[in-house]
């Protein structure tokens, strides 16, 4: 996994790169979380990878390392209501912008996982498909976004235990869909998503 982007932005002088990623885009309930991370030059960790390829235990072990060692990081959530209003793509990008707002150091380049982003201030950005498996700063952002979102979903699971968000984290599992059919929706559900087999628009 690379620590810096080797492309036309690279020079003999190290540039400050912020990696951005999100977690929870495909869920039926809960916010989408986004993170931005600036790592020190040469940072590496044997566990660091795309968060989806890591176990829960590995992510939990790595989270405090990233939060301690990062030059700066930000984590932000965009709730279900905002997702329904502006759609999940725009909500994911908004979350990344808000996470970037939290950085105490201004990056010179933004590395974004995926293929869509919107200009943030006057800072150049590069979208990288599967970037969380290729660049350490994006992978670190992936881990933080996933950890913070999982923690939130486990917390609200206590409010609505019948949906088992502590287990499915809001993703469209058979168990989750069955609970929606039986108990209806909650304020945490994304009404613009396919919840009952058809789009709910209200």
150 is in an annotated binding site: no
Greatest extent of the chain over all pairs of C-alpha atoms, in Å: 60
Cα(87)–Cα(79) distance, rounded to whole angstroms?
Answer: 11
Q: Which residues are CB-contacts of 147 (< 8 A; sequence separation ≥ 6)? A: 51, 59, 60, 63
Consult the annotation and say whether 6 binds a ligand: no
- For residue 31, give both structure tokens: 């916010």
Q: Burial code of 150-164, b = ≥16 C-beta within 10 A, e = fewer? A: bebbeebbeebeebb
C-alpha distances out from residue 84 to 67, 78, 100, 110, 134, Å: 31, 10, 22, 27, 31
Question: Annotation-wise, does 113 bind a ligand?
Answer: yes
Alpha-carbon distance 91 to 79, whole Å?
A: 9
The residue with tokens 């150049």 is 124
Give the residue numbers of the binding site for a divalent metal cation.
Answer: 21-22, 113
Which residues are known binding-site members? 21-22, 113
């Amino acid at each position: 996994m690379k620590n810096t982007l080797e492309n036309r932005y690279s020079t003999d002088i190290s540039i400050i790169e912020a990696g951005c990623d999100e977690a929870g885009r495909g869920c039926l309930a809960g916010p989408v979380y986004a993170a931005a991370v600036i790592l020190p030059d040469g940072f590496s960790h044997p566990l660091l990878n795309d968060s989806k390829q890591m176990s829960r235990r590995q992510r939990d072990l790595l989270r405090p390392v990233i939060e301690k060692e990062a030059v700066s990081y930000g984590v932000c959530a965009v709730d279900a209501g905002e997702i329904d209003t502006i759609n999940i793509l725009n909500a994911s990008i908004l979350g990344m912008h808000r996470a970037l707002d939290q950085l105490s150091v201004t990056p010179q380049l933004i590395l974004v996982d995926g293929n869509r982003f919107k200009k943030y201030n006057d800072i150049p950005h590069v979208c990288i498909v599967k970037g969380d498996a290729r660049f350490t700063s994006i992978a670190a952002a992936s881990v933080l976004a996933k950890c913070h979102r999982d923690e939130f979903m486990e917390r609200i699971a206590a409010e609505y235990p019948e949906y088992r968000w502590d287990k499915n984290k809001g993703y469209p599992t058979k168990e989750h869909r069955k609970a929606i059919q039986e108990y209806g929706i909650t304020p945490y559900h994304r009404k613009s998503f396919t919840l009952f087999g058809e789009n709910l628009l209200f």
